[in-house]
Amino acid sequence: MVSPVHKATTGLSPSPRAQQVLRGVRVLSLALNLPGPAAMMRLHDMGAHCTKLEPPAPAGGKEKASGDPMALYRPLAYQTMHQGVRVVQADLKSSQGQAVLQRLLLNTDVLLTSFRPSALNKLGLGWKALQRQYPQLSCVAIVGAPGVRAEEPGHDLTYVAEQGLVDGLQLPASLFADMGGSLMTTEAVLQALLLRAQPGRNHGKGVLLEVALSDAAAYLALPRQWGLTTPKGAVGGAHAGYQIYPCRDGRVAVAALEPHFAQRLLMAAGLTDIAPQTPLTPAAHEAVARFMASQTRRQLDRLAVAKDIPLHTLPR
């Protein structure tokens, strides 16, 4: 059965039609929750024909309701990620569901999964079995951690915590591993298509690529490892021009990092005696903080336009 998907905005600029490089490519996803559907959203924007096979809602739920947990706890997110995606419901643990899946795989270029390897094998979807039956099919397997750790339980929070990206008791502002993993999944689909098209002995044959959410978290954590976002790093609080300050009626995020931006910021604050190359001293921080505290959000917004200073005001 095919479920209708309501239109919803992503808040992102739509990809120009000229960039729909995946037109004619068929992607089938079995991936639930966030990384897989978020990747499908981007693949659809690139022109791919996207189909999602998901379980029906548990017994007692609404008729035609989705079995994807995201549809239950955040319907808008589910609708947004599935806009333009053909949604088919089937229970893969049943013979009928397996028949639906096999029909879909016949015309699929790339399969996305997000099950543990043991679960895929139980469903008859191990890579050797898929390759034997569908030699042209590529598979991108989204897992929590790579290799032997693929069976470990985990979620976005555990992966970003493992990389030192969780401070105190505050939850991260976004699902960084999941969203980073969705981008890596999109990248892996492109890699799979390029590898299949390469001339040689394996021309036309599918490949298996693994995307680990823990790897996505590790990649996003590189600026911290390099010292860029530590308290002594230039974009971690040490630079007076790259900081969040309170203002009279809110906050302001200032990103005047380069010397020419820093100089404009310092001049606007009346700090002509501080060199823009070294706005790192406590005196510079204190002076910029005093200036910001004296300004309203409206005044700072006008200043940003008039003096070409990168800043963004925020409510308290």
pLDDT tens for each residue of 109-119 = 999 999 999 99
306 touches 264 (CB < 8 A): no
Distance of alpha carbon 112 from alpha carbon 4, whole angstroms: 21
Indicate the range of 21-35, 103-117, 134-148, 260-274 predicted with least confidence.
260-274
pLDDT confidence of residue 260: 92
Report the b/e string of 24-53 with b at 16+ CB within 10 A: ebbbbbbbbbbbbbbbbbbbbbbbbbbbbb
pLDDT category, 6, cuts 50, 70, 90? Answer: very low
pLDDT confidence of residue 76: 96
Paired residues of 110 in beta bridges: 27, 138
Strand order in the sheet with 250-255: 242-247, 250-255, 311-314
Distance of alpha carbon 178 from alpha carbon 175, whole angstroms: 5
Query: Would you say the C-alpha torsion 137, 138, 143, 146 has a positive or negative sign?
Result: positive
The residues, any chain, with a CB within 8 Å of residue 287's CB and separated by 6 or more, are 240, 269, 271, 274
**What's the chain's average pLDDT?**
91
The CATH class for the domain spanning 2-225 reads alpha beta
Q: What is the mean pLDDT of residues 151-166?
A: 95
Assigned superfamily of 234-314:
formyl-coa transferase, domain 3 (3.30.1540.10)
- The structural domains of the chain, with segments of one domain joined by +, span 2-225, 234-314
pLDDT above 60 (res 41): yes
pLDDT above 50 (res 8): no
pLDDT category, 201, cuts 50, 70, 90? Answer: confident
DSSP letters of 226-263?
Answer: TTSSSTTSIIIIISTTEEEEEETTEEEEEE--SHHHHH
Strands (DSSP E) along 105-207, which ranges? 110-113, 138-143
pLDDT tens for each residue of 219-240 = 999 999 999 999 999 899 999 9
pLDDT tens for each residue of 68-91 = 999 999 999 999 999 999 999 999
For 76, counting Cβ atoms within 10 Å of its Cβ (0-12 exposed, 13-18 middle, 19+ buried), the class is exposed
Structure tokens given for 69: 């947990």
192 touches 25 (CB < 8 A): no
For tokens 């505050």, the residue is 170
